Chain A
């Protein structure tokens, strides 16, 4: 018993509110619908997993939610700001101050050391004493001894831990994670997801995670399913959320 694409939460101050979101891509001959009729509300402090098969549209949805892309139709409101109406620069500013990211392929800048990679968003957000904060975070993720190493000198798990430290560095109100353990072996993946969940709890951040890993999804407070561009929420989960 799933309720179709209307997943409105019930808290008065949702962190993320999505209404009638749709996304299409124009191909040479016709139009490909990637997402349609997505309605969603995510509350402050919630952790939500979006689960779906490859090609189901989950990465597109994540990009739209995080304001990396603009939808063909519908509204995305992030912490009260209608991001689909903001200019690209305004969205960048919003991301700098309120949004954190963790990616499947880590996305660390190869030319920067671990410490510098973590300092980068702090400086972009204009936070004072970025180095102190970055050191603390790297120590927190267990890389206090590896501050000066560049990504190439770190293992995959270590790189993802740097990425997690970077994601939490600027105290984001919401964290988007795209298959955070997708490139890691089971054990390392487990350690990384433990760390992610832990930090998320400590910082009280809202977490939106895209994954096809059922175990990881199960650790989130809410699971949403996406298939062929349509978002559904299993009733049990919805009840639990409400």
Chain B
């Protein structure tokens, strides 16, 4: 058996084209899936650590009541291997040489920040920036640059915080946890937590927020939360990155895109492996017949090919990983470039499992079935060609392949909607293909040959109708998968870009008194930063739902943040542009009744139109029915409100302050100092750094998506090449014959290229139609976007596929044109 076994040395196998295709397909499958899985895990880690820096930790526990949490909670966390840290946040008056200013103080412990870095300047503005993973030392403060101007301070001066004098050691440019918190509306002063007591600023009854920081492994965090949850009081709030409204959607979408990409890579690879291994099996029939003639038994043949498959598997996995690892390394580099900071490479061996599984399933569900049937090849085939396989014999293969591929995609993406959309798209595609195939063949039958390239092309299509239909199916499928990916990517990216345009608001003005609204507005008008949407804001608590206390009316399992804190209520006559009514009607012009509620809150509270909500505002109570439910773009960087009243509605007599957000270019930031002096009571919230970070994250995700898209399109090209080369021999023989019979080279080239171009065009159109159908489902179910037609994106695809396939056709003909027909015919014997 040694020589028979030698038949399966990979080196020898490599001499066979079909084996090369199977191996290349396997390598690409393994490489794509492994790269995506590795990169997804890296990306997730990088994103989470970038985003964790928004919390300065992986998790925060906020105690809004200002009472410290029991010491044993922190001990428990440390015992579970978590790092912990502590912050105290409060507002207080500070003073310098030039008067007083309300400041929002953040006092941090030595461990701060557990994630991310603080950016400071040790010289006056314009000096060099410095990032470090620490807060100020005891006795020192870092302050918002605006305070320098407001209080006429310099670095090195002392600042009075309550009863304590602290040295201004640096300017605080960026803090890693620059979130929105009411206490942080005033300019920031960061100090050490040990100095808090000596300032005397925190007294019994002061409004203080204690924030505890936790960081560590995901599982340890989850376990700890399980332990902690039953002990939490209503005033405690456990916050993780994923709950942050601004970023979770970006994460989800990026993750889903990666999963989708991975699934499509699996599908493409499966198609390539299936096509190539079927070709291989067909080509192996003569060998099997000979081996049988020479005395090899059925079982021996089965073993021979099984071992061979196993060898391919090993070679495919090894080759795939050899491609994946440098690629992964490269992508991590790209990520680092995008982030302008080194990214720690995080190699997760578990991420290789899907790749191994893909190789295994590709081999045994796609490659094995046609090869398994080889043992039934009659020995008599050595003497006389036997009838080939019928389509019926291949049907069980198709069934096995379909089941396997969807099981694989499901396993890989864990997303039924995705599997459903892909399956739906494919079924639709196959249905159209069957109909179209019949119609096309009926049409093509009428074309008679002739010296014209077009006619020859159509005759060619008809003459190879079985191969043509098979190729059409595979091309259409490949194009469909590629189109899905391109479409999803395009809408994903454009969604993001519209979400955060260059001039997205980057400053909030809060606490504008009714009497200053006009002046504030004209101040910014003069400074070329007009305010667009000014909203009145009334703070109130939602206390009753249909007359019942709201905490009893809502299930206890639902921890709803909106119920734990005061809500920002507003009145408005126009629905904001980016809001959308999902139920009910927006207020009519002179409406005096009702409220409009944000959709997620309404869902969590189980609200329906007509439910009566009671708000407690100061000492007053307002009860109004729900008249509409609307969606809100939380990440729009504009003021957003859970609850809106009509202008003459329930809030009309309530004292309100106004809020707005606007875009202020970096070079115009100097105006802020003047503004603060003119309007000392108005709070300015600078979120330009947050926006920068969000744009950075979107940039990161975009880069990753583009890289993965490129990988998958490469896989698609290999599939196409595999399928085209499946009929290589026949085509070349035919080409040689045509030339022998006196056909001109140019005619041969033109007709072949036309034939493939027609095939490509058809496949392109079909693929695009099926892709639109699949994207329709995907967008609605997975990317919660509204479906739009994407003709401008997909229209070029059929043309590209026509050109591409024409090029493939030309490439196929190469040997036919460069070698004498006789030599070629002999070689093909």
Contact = CB atoms under 8 A, between A and B. Distances in A.
Interface of A: 59-60, 62-63, 66, 68-69, 88-89, 91-97, 99, 101, 103, 107, 109-112, 116, 119-121, 123-125, 130, 178
Interface in B15-57: 15-16
A108 to B, nearest CB: 9
B296 interface: yes
Interface residues of B, number: 28
A62 B12 contact: no
Contacts of B4: 120, 123-124
Nearest to B2: A123
Contacts of A103: 382-383
Nearest to B1: A123
Contacts, number: 89
B729 interface: no
Interface in B576-619: none
B446 interface: no
A111 B15 contact: yes
A242 B26 CA distance: 63
- Counting chain B CB atoms within 10 Å of each CB, the highest count among A119, A120, A130 belongs to A120
A120 B298 contact: no
A63 B384 contact: yes
Given A109-B290, A112-B7, A123-B1, A92 B380 contact: no
B86 interface: no
A96 B12 contact: no
Interface of B: 1-4, 6-7, 12-13, 15-16, 286-287, 290-299, 378-380, 382-384
Given A112-B3, A124-B296, 19 more contacts: A59-B383, A63-B383, A68-B378, A68-B379, A69-B380, A88-B292, A88-B297, A88-B379, A89-B298, A92-B297, A93-B295, A101-B293, A101-B382, A109-B290, A111-B12, A111-B15, A119-B3, A120-B3, A124-B4
B383 A111 contact: no
Contact of A112 (B6, B286, B297, B378): B6
A111 B295 contact: no
A86 B292 CA distance: 14
Contacts of B291: 120, 124
Contact of A95 (B3, B6, B293): B293
Contact of B382 (A60, A68, A91, A92): A68
A205 B298 CA distance: 27
B294 A89 contact: no
B294 A95 contact: yes
A69 B378 CA distance: 8
Nearest to B9: A111
Q: Which 9 A-B residue pairs are closest in the complex by CB-CB distance?
A: A96-B295, A89-B297, A69-B380, A68-B379, A68-B380, A95-B295, A121-B294, A92-B297, A119-B3
Given A112-B6, A123-B1, A89 B382 contact: no
A63 B297 contact: no
8 contacts: A68-B382, A88-B292, A92-B297, A92-B298, A95-B295, A107-B290, A109-B7, A109-B287
Nearest to B829: A105
A88 B298 contact: yes
A55 to B, nearest CB: 11
Nearest to B286: A107
A107 B295 contact: no
Contacts of A96: 294-296
Contacts of A120: 3-4, 291, 294
Decide if the interface of chain B is mainly helix, strand, loop or mixed: helix
B122 to A, nearest CB: 72
Nearest to A121: B294
Contact of A124 (B287, B294, B298): B294
B301 to A, nearest CB: 9
A62 B383 contact: yes
A68 B295 contact: no
Nearest to A118: B3
A68 B299 contact: no
A222 B12 CA distance: 43
B380 A63 contact: yes
Nearest to A120: B3
A178 B299 CA distance: 27
Given A69-B380, A95-B293, A130 B298 contact: no
A89 B291 CA distance: 12
A99 to B, nearest CB: 8
Contacts of A130: 2-3
Contacts of A119: 2-3
Contacts of B379: 68-69, 88, 91-92, 95
A184 to B, nearest CB: 13
A2 B2 CA distance: 50
A112 B3 CA distance: 8
Contact of A92 (B3, B13, B296): B296
Nearest to B826: A156
A151 B295 CA distance: 21
Given A59-B384, A111-B16, A123-B1, A92 B292 contact: yes
A109 B380 CA distance: 16
A106 to B, nearest CB: 10
A237 B3 CA distance: 42
- Counting chain B CB atoms within 10 Å of each CB, the highest count among A89, A107, A111, A119 belongs to A111
A199 to B, nearest CB: 18
A172 to B, nearest CB: 10
B299 A89 contact: yes
A154 to B, nearest CB: 13
A184 B613 CA distance: 99
Contacts of A124: 1, 4, 291, 294-296
B374 to A, nearest CB: 14
A125 B295 contact: yes
A51 to B, nearest CB: 17
B8 to A, nearest CB: 9
Contact of A116 (B3, B15, B296): B3
Contacts of B297: 88-89, 92-93
Nearest to A108: B290
- Counting chain A CB atoms within 10 Å of each CB, the highest count among B2, B3, B298, B382 belongs to B3
Nearest to A126: B1
Nearest to A89: B297
Contacts of A99: 295
B296 A111 contact: no
Contacts of A66: 293
Contacts of B299: 89
Nearest to B386: A69
B2 A68 contact: no
A19 to B, nearest CB: 21
B20 to A, nearest CB: 13
B18 to A, nearest CB: 12
A59 B15 CA distance: 32
